[in-house]
Amino acid sequence: MGAGTPPLNDALRISVREQRNTDSVLRIASFTLAAGPVSVFYKITGEVLPPPLEVLDFALVAAIHVAMREGRPVHVEGPVTGALLRSLEEYQEIWALWRRTYRRVQISADQVVSSTVIDDRHGVFAISGGVDGAFALLKHHSGLAGPRNVRPACAMFVHGFDIPLHEQAAFGRARDGIVEMVAPLGVPVTIVETNWREALGRDWAMDCQVALTACLHQFRGAANVGVCGAADDYAHITVPLGSNPVTNHLLSGGGFDIMTEGGALTRTDRVRALCDHPQIAAKLRVCWEGPKTGRNCGRCEKCIRTKLNFMAVGSAPLCFDGPPTFLDILRIKLHEPSQVQFLREIVAAAKANDVRGAWLVALRLAMVKNKLVLRSMALERRIRKVRYVPRTMPRTADPRDATPHGGVSPTSAAAKTRIAERGGLNRRVTAARRVTDL
């Protein structure tokens, strides 16, 4: 579907209105979801404000995951770029394969517009205070991206993602830290305040990039590239994951490209680059699990891991009060098997940099512990799926254990084998759980 095609009656309809003041821009996107109408606002303040809206690409990007989950066609009441419509076709194909609950949907708009390619690349850089965004901004500001280089127009910090809208004090401290971080680069900071996560977010790990990209698209006209830091390096890509080098660029629109920067380097390599600019490295804020203070808690998994990134390149953890203790490292708790690679990469970096210390012993032990715990969690999921064989209920019993009279023989060889297997699973889970008491 495209411009001029009558929208279906059950379509998820999108409309946008804009209010402009001398020091701010407010855009409100309305969506007719299956559960009822929802409004998402974007309030933009700072030194760099976008020009008046020309296309509604940002609203379509903001709604694409919701539309795919609902399986409903989308109609945009206004203009969108043909480039975005074409990219979203492939984007949907990929995500429909990755997530069985996502379905491809038809998209139409009141008007489909074309755009020209501009060689002068100037961009808005997404930054939250973390390693990835800070590295991307520093690399392009220093002109180290070669022909891909993007001249920074501003740095964008979003309020409403990792720091909830009601946490004003925490947001203020985080904002001040980012302003101090980018001050040596002379890059202005612009704030985007939005309720997207509250209104449309369902699975942040999968939705984070569409949420962020919708904010970057706000600056079309003031910039022609939106740049975000890479989550993984190219050697260890995790999919499906909201931010990934496979589909991020497919959220580009006409006259506004989306670039993911930093995938050629590991996280420790990015930290090493930031250590050459200690005034920037000292202002990093990586914490999202700890208390919402706008600062690093120094105790959560992400904080401890970032300290280790610094130590693996022979540097003190500049954005923290001090290094982690042996017990801090041992208590690292990972949530996914793919995260073990983050710890393995730190060990490899320390070896490459000829860094030694007792903390590496603790890190190796933490890796072993987390592998066991993650395996125990997988075993527990298997156990929940095991069908226990009752003694006197033939309807739910395994037919291989049935007696000639219709009962179940608990002494059959097959039944004994399955009971032993279950016992083995339980013993392995119990043994693995003991490791978590460290």
pLDDT digits (tens, 9 = 90+) for 251-304: 999 999 999 999 999 999 999 999 999 999 999 999 988 888 899 999 999 999
| Mean of pLDDT values over 59-68 | 98
Whether residue 171 has pLDDT greater than 90: yes
Confidence at residue 396, expressed as pLDDT on a 0 to 100 scale: 47
Confidence at residue 290, expressed as pLDDT on a 0 to 100 scale: 82
Name 51's Cβ contacts closer than 8 Å, sequence gap at least 6.
221, 222
| Mean of pLDDT values over 366-383 | 89
Share of the chain above pLDDT 70, in %: 86
Whether residue 406 has pLDDT greater than 50: no
Name 5's Cβ contacts closer than 8 Å, sequence gap at least 6.
108
Query: pLDDT band at 379, cuts 50/70/90?
Result: confident
Cβ 311 vs Cβ 350: under 8 Å = yes
| Mean of pLDDT values over 180-186 | 97
| Mean of pLDDT values over 209-235 | 97
Beta bridge partners of 37: 32
Q: Which residue has the higher pLDDT, 432 or 338?
A: 338
Instruction: For 72-122, give the DSSP string.
Output: --EEEEEEEEHHHHHHHHHHHHHHHHH-TT-----EEEEEEE-----SS-E
Instruction: Report pTM.
Output: 0.86
Confidence at residue 7, expressed as pLDDT on a 0 to 100 scale: 55
Confidence at residue 3, expressed as pLDDT on a 0 to 100 scale: 56
Query: pLDDT band at 338, cuts 50/70/90?
Result: confident
Whether residue 4 has pLDDT greater than 60: no
Domain regions of the chain by residue span:
12-113, 287-378, 386-435
307's tokens: 């300290």
State how far the alpha carbon of 180 is from the alpha carbons of 133, 161, 191, 290, in Å: 15, 21, 14, 22
| Mean of pLDDT values over 27-44 | 97
| Mean of pLDDT values over 403-413 | 50
Query: pLDDT band at 404, cuts 50/70/90?
Result: very low
| Mean of pLDDT values over 368-383 | 88
> Phi/psi of residue 296, each to 5°?
-75, 135
Confidence at residue 360, expressed as pLDDT on a 0 to 100 scale: 98
Cβ 92 vs Cβ 85: under 8 Å = no
| Mean of pLDDT values over 224-250 | 96
What whole-number distance in Å separates Cα of residue 62 and Cα of residue 40?
9
> Phi/psi of residue 127, each to 5°?
-145, 135
Using CA of residue 404, residue 410, residue 411, residue 415, what is the dihedral sign?
positive
Q: In 243-336, where do the E strands start and end? A: 257-261
| Mean of pLDDT values over 129-144 | 98
What 8-state DSSP symbol labels residue 382? H
Confidence at residue 261, expressed as pLDDT on a 0 to 100 scale: 98
Give the 3-state secondary structure of residue 6.
coil
Whether residue 405 has pLDDT greater than 50: no
Whether residue 402 has pLDDT greater than 80: no
Q: Which long-range contacts (CB under 8 A, 24 or more apart) does 272-279 make?
A: 272/313, 272/315, 273/135, 273/138, 273/139, 274/131, 274/134, 274/135, 274/138, 275/310, 275/313, 275/315, 275/318, 277/138, 277/184, 278/318, 279/181, 279/184
What whole-number distance in Å separates Cα of residue 226 and Cα of residue 235?
24
Average pLDDT of the chain to the nearest whole number: 90
Whether residue 15 has pLDDT greater than 50: yes
Whether residue 37 has pLDDT greater than 80: yes
Confidence at residue 116, expressed as pLDDT on a 0 to 100 scale: 78
What whole-number distance in Å separates Cα of residue 334 and Cα of residue 270?
21
What whole-number distance in Å separates Cα of residue 118 and Cα of residue 220?
12
Whether residue 428 has pLDDT greater than 60: no
Q: Which residue has the higher pLDDT, 381 or 213?
A: 213
Neighbours of 110 (CB within 10 A): 15
Cβ 84 vs Cβ 57: under 8 Å = yes
| Mean of pLDDT values over 166-188 | 97
Please identify which residue in the block is written with the tokens 């740049």: 227
What whole-number distance in Å separates Cα of residue 377 and Cα of residue 389?
23
Which segments of 313-390 does DSSP mark as H helices, in order? Answer: 326-330, 340-352, 358-385
Name 230's Cβ contacts closer than 8 Å, sequence gap at least 6.
132, 136, 243, 245, 260, 261, 262, 263
